[in-house]
Amino acid sequence: MITTGLYFMSTIAAGTFSKQLSIDEQIDKIEQLFKIKILYKDSEQYIPLLWKIQSGNAESSQAATDNLQQLINILPNEIEKYPLEILQDNLSNIIVLGELKFFNISYGGTYLDKTIYITVGTDSTHKKSVMHLSSTFHHEFNSILMFRYEFSKLSWLAANPDGFTYAKTEEEKLQALKESTNIEGSKKLYKYGFLTEYNKSSLENDFNMYAEFAFTRPARLTNLAKKYPRIRRKVILLKEFYLNISKDFKPVMVLCCNI
């Protein structure tokens, strides 16, 4: 795991540096430490033309300064959870937007190649929670890793109930996402191996939600895995996936997946 700059990361997360440095200076320090570009100044230039023309007429807006600062405060500690070589091989940019819409539906984040998009809101009086922001980072980076490393889709599907299918068309996926306003789980969902309603929208989102829990709510994921067999099966697959990428993920996996 990364240890370089640990003091810097802990203090910036606590807000010490935010009182002394400008946002651009804080970003510069993070970029130097992790070799990842953090972009936020002109939201429109970061949206690929293809998204605007073919992928739901994508729209974006600028991030509120206070909301951007909130993300900068927590980002170093979340990035630090990944081995440095994995970051350098798979993540080049983090683009921070106020809002991002496809088909007029707001997205918390998305990804493209080695770039993560995170939305933080356009109104400083309506900040997203720290948990939401950190979860979005892990959710989107997990998608990148899922497609760049070997992931056993068949094993994951085998952990689902007989007859269950994720949304098949893009329209069905968008509708499922639109209806998944409640991100909390339930005993019924847990029994069938889903942490939230959002998990049911696609295999990718199902796996990503497990990654979110692993990196942000490990104790919660462990407790659910001990109680629900289908969740336990998926947690084991998650652990195998990350440890196959790098043994340096062991400290994170021990916290969430020691079952």
From the list 107, 123, 8, the residue with the least C-alpha distance to 70 is 123
Averaged pLDDT, 45-69: 83
Q: Which tens digits make up the pLDDT trace of 233-258?
A: 999 999 999 999 999 999 999 988 77
- In the structure, what pLDDT confidence band is assigned to residue 182 with cuts at 50, 70 and 90? low
List beta partners, residue 95.
39, 117
* pLDDT(21) > 80: yes
Tokens linked to 47 = 């949206």
| Predicted local confidence at residue 8, as pLDDT | 46
pLDDT at 117: 96
**Residue type at position 223:** N
Q: What is the pLDDT of residue 127?
A: 84
Backbone angles phi, psi at 105, to 5 degrees: -110, 130
Is the per-residue pLDDT at 175 higher than 90? Answer: no
The answer to whether residue 232 scores a pLDDT higher than 50 is: yes
CA distance 113 to 133: 20
Q: In 211-241, which positions are buried (b, 16+ CB within 10 angstroms) versus exposed (e)?
A: bbbbbbbbeebbebbeebebbbbbbebbbeb
Is the pLDDT at 17 greater than 60, yes or no?
A: no
Please give the backbone phi and psi of residue 140, each rounded to the nearest 5 degrees, phi first. Answer: -75, -40
Phi then psi for residue 48, to 5 deg, are: -60, 145
| Statement: residue 58 has pLDDT above 60 | yes
Strands 93-97 and 37-39: parallel
DSSP string, the chain: ---TTHHHHHHHHTTTGGGTS-HHHHHHHHHHHH--EEE-S-GGGGS-HHHHHTSS--EEEPPPHHHHHHHHHHHHHHHTTS-HHHHHHH--EEEEESEEEETTEE-SEEEETTEEEEE--S-TTSPPPHHHHHHHHHHHHHHHHHHHS---HHHHHHTSPTT-----SHHHHHHHHHH-------HHHHHTT-SSGGGGG-HHHHHHHHHHHHHH-HHHHHHHHHH-HHHHHHHHHHHHHHHHH-GGGHHHHHHHH--
What are the pLDDT digits (tens) for 60-119? 889 999 999 999 999 999 999 999 999 999 999 999 999 998 877 888 899 999 999 999
Q: What's this model's pTM, rounded to 2 decimal places?
A: 0.88
| pLDDT score at 11 | 47
As to burial, measured by CB atoms within 10 angstroms (0-12 exposed, 13-18 middle, 19+ buried), residue 4 is exposed
Lowest mean pLDDT among 43-57, 72-86, 90-104, 200-214: 43-57
Provide the pLDDT for residue 42: 78
What pLDDT was estimated at residue 126? 80
Which among 130, 125, 61, 126 has a CA at the least distance from the CA of 96? 61
% of the chain surpassing 70 pLDDT: 86
The CA distances from residue 130 to 13, 68, 200, 257, in Å, are 11, 12, 24, 23
